[in-house]
Structure 1
Amino acid sequence: MRLLSLGRALPDRRVDNHSVFNAPAIFDYDAIAIDPEGVFMRIRELLDASASHTTHADTQVVNGGAGEAIAASEVLRRRHDEFVRALERGALVVVFMHSQAMITGVSGFPGIDRYFFLPAPPGLAWDAELIRWGEGTSVAVSDPAHPFTRYVDAVRDDVLYRAWFEERARGFADHAHVFARSAGGAPVGVEFQVLGGSVVFLPAPRTHGGDAGRAQATAIVGAVEEHLGRSGGDRPPWADREPVPGLDEREAEVERARELVRRAEEQRDGAEAEADPLRRVRDVLWTEGTHALLPAARRCLELLGFAVRDIDDVPVLQADGTRIELEVEGSEATVGMAAHYRLRTRLDARIEAEGSAPRGLIVVNGERMQAPDRREEPYAEALRVAAEATSYALLPAPELFNAARAALAGADDETLGAIRERIVSVNGLVDLSDLLGEGAS
């Protein structure tokens, strides 16, 4: 886990310390610490030109924007949007609390307050009515179970809180969880649920950097890890060298089990890869539509020796030099004339373009939720008559399934060739029972 800290340097290897201007995208972090006073200091430096600032990509930040530079107002507005996005995805934001203040003079962003970057819970605002000015050096834990009590303990002798919450403010009690108070009982350590994440306000410490800064950083990182349910960093190398009776044997068993699992997963994946096209054969009996029945019909036709491919985004069969326009239609009821009209349009287009009589095939799967031997009227009689009159083949899905099953069972090339020839040549209903033999259905 990495913690992003803005406006206050936290000396710890797990912390990325940046300014409000040069930080990477805030929503890329699960935890962010921010000192609003440090943020204001960087903005003041920009306004009075006492320091130069760039973005994370080294673009110059200026007040107003010119040429290849970027306007400070754009960066600051972007930071607000990034905090919103981070909280929406469940981030934890830790704020060193200060009283409200305003900065004027940022071109395009007049009247920036100290908490411009931070969204608030419904019905609350981070204004002077809620966050009151007040300074003190005595803070006590009021909820020992809260993860950030370790921070309060770590800075107990170095605290200088600069603000407190007015708990009588409307909406405070509905959203606030107080875990630390001043000696006089004012809330100075408070957590709020905001959007999908959490915002934790902490009493600010007096000291920056040095041993005190390292203690602050260690306590905050530990509290963040506990709050997010993360482990306490990487295990140090020396820990692996400490013997534990029986552990080596158990770890060897774990490794052997992992290897067995890996091999089993490979076998499963291989079996799935082989089973999936076979399942698709059976799907031709009960599915409908281009996303289910069409792939199943294609697989069955491929088993019979047809080449199936898409030409101009429509499926076409090819076998023995003949091109056949393919349509499929399925329904829980009797299949009507819709597939005929689609196929007729395609055939007419080919006649107009080529001047020859093209072939067509409709795979029909009516009454698809009934077992094949219980289907009474899977296709309309008008569809059969239209197939004969228009010179295309009408192939019931159960007939196609039986043929594909015969191919899988080892039907010889002569039989498969005869099946293809019948599908290619018949006008109207295709009957393959004599070619498949008794028991095929």
Structure 2
Amino acid sequence: MTPRRVVVTGLGALTPIGNTLSEYWEGLVSGKSGAAPITYFDASDFKTQFACELKNFDILDFMHKKDARKQDRFTQYALVSTQEAIEDSKLPLDTVDKDRVGVIWGAGIGGLETFQNEVLNFAANDMKPRFNPFFIPKMIPDIAPGMISIKYGFRGPNFATVSACASSANALIDALNYIRLNHADVMVAGGSEAGVTCAGIGGFNAMHALSTRNDDPQTASRPFDKDRDGFVLGEGSGTLILEEYEHAKARGAKIYAEIVGGGLSADAHHMTAPHPEGIGARNVMLNCLRDANLKPEDVDVINMHGTSTGLGDIAESKAIKEVFGAHLYTMNINSTKSMTGHLLGAAGAIEAIASIMSIQNNIVPPTINHKTADEEIDPKINFTFGKAQKREVKVALSNTFGFGGHNACVVFKEIS
């Protein structure tokens, strides 16, 4: 059978640099940093004392306190960004066939805060078995797509993808294929994460994965910079409404872009480190382009995984040189993690949104905080350092890579 075309008809974003899609895009284009001292708990004894938290956000603006108490923050975030995306899509909830609408959601960790607090309470109560009845349903990653389907009555395919930092890109690829293969007409896809907790900061500190630039948090996330010292932990959520092209056209939907391909690969190398030659990153981009029936020369922009880690930035830079060759020097490359921090399982979703908005607006957001060139990274590559650049963007590719060697890549194209 001929795969059906799939387009994006709604977007929702809840990020450290903006609590709505428009605020997020404005933050990206202006080069805003979301990093600041941690406010959720006393981090004074931690090696890292800052993160990219949400700002001026109150879940009680979106749901009753009683309902909020039954959900971990990662599920709350998922419901908030999904509400915006569904409203943005103008999906006719009263008439759409809800048997043909599904939800696939990515979360690398899920309810980490819930798990942490329940264990702390257990220890504080002399190990007496007194647990919250919502402990398990608040914690499990698949509760987020479950709650979205319950809220809106969507009865199509429904599950969670868990592949560390590639989780929500995996969700997008699965959603794309369910529509392509005629198992659904509309899919809600994205990811959320709420890892800014004692356990999250402490755990990543123990791995030496986080920046410890406590004296200057706003410049701590510095992808491709020689003095980068780790990523900055972020939180939030991103939602995309994917829809079969003819279904979208028939209802007169606004179309942001077409999602034309997705690629997957594994490094098969190390628990946390990327393959030093970027083999998995190379393969995932080639797989994505092959799936989309595109050539490397068709791509205008790549939103890199670009976490601001020593090994990762170099390996990914090697990979893009191998895939794109001389064409690389005509492209724009960026890492929006320099502004948002690393949203772990939600990274793929919010970075896919950034790629789509680049196509919509013909603007490439910057990679901020670059101060010193790294001699191991080709200086001729245009990493869009410092400020946003205007250019025609017809095809945008987005990379996400996760612990365990999981790689996912999605590509979007101007609708034609």
TM category, shorter: under 0.3
| Greater radius of gyration (CA) | 1
Structure with bigger RCO (C-alpha 8 Å, 6+ apart): 2
Normalised by the size of structure 1, how large is the TM-score? 0.22
Normalised by the size of structure 2, how large is the TM-score? 0.23
